[in-house]
Amino acid sequence: MKRFVLDFLHRGAVACGIGPVVLAIIYLILQGTSGVEELSVNGVCIGIFSITALAFVAGGMNAVYQIERLPLMAAILIHGAVLYFSYLCTYLLNDWLDKGALPLIVFTAVFAVGFIVIWLIIYFIIRKSTAKLNKMLSENHKRQSER
């Protein structure tokens, strides 16, 4: 458990430095799409703190995959649930998501599709890399046995 906490803190600290940059991009997008002309000091501070905390959690949660006794599917579900609630809280806190059933359903659907697509990409990349490595090992084993 100590290893997990230290790994979580390290990964989170590395990731949270990116948070303010992401926030600046979000504010630029909001300015371009929804006519946001100016922000209050309070709004900017809440945005900076919340997105930094979100980046810390998102970066740190990757440590869940280092827990050897945790099945991969359980790690994926824990990771996804923590990210979902972290993003949802951040969006609601910053008023980036309207309150109501329809915005929540749309947010949930977009999050789920995005999470699944990212995991499918990772799965196929790892599968391709594993096949390539297995082929190399097989060829190396054949060469070893021919000697």
The string of pLDDT tens digits covering residues 70-98 is 898 999 999 999 999 999 999 999 888 88
- Residue 38 belongs to some domain of the structure: yes
For 4, 43, 79, 118, 142, the CA distances from 65, given in Å and listed in that order, are 9, 34, 9, 15, 34
Amino acid at position 84, single letter: Y
The pLDDT value recorded for residue 68 is 80
Closest CA to 13 of 65, 55, 74: 55
Tell which wins on pLDDT, 28 or 109.
109
DSSP state string for 63-120:
GGGG-TTS-HHHHHHHHHHHHHHHHHHHHHHTT-S-SSHHHHHHHHHHHHHHHHHHHH
| pLDDT, tens digit, 9 for 90 and up, residues 111-138 | 999 999 999 998 899 999 999 999 898 8
Residue 59, burial from CB neighbour count under 10 angstroms (0-12, 13-18, 19+): buried
In a domain, residue 70? The reply is: yes
> In total, how many domains does the chain have?
1
**Is 87 contained in some domain?**
yes
Q: Is residue 15 part of a domain?
A: yes
25-54 burial by CB neighbour count: b if 16+ within 10 A, else e? eebeeeeeeeeeeeeeeeeeebbeebbbbb
Tell me the whole-structure pTM to 2 decimals.
Answer: 0.75
Is position 30 within any domain?
A: yes
In a domain, 146, yes or no: no
Does the residue 103 lie in any domain? no
Tell me the per-residue pLDDT of 4-62, one tens digit each, with 9 for 90 and over: 888 888 888 888 777 788 788 888 887 888 767 777 888 888 888 898 899 889 888 98
18 DSSP assignment? T
Quote the domain boundaries for residue 28.
2-97
pLDDT at 43: 84
Q: Which amino acid is at 78?
A: I
Place of tokens 């946001």: 36
Instruction: Please report whether residue 80 resides in a domain.
Output: yes
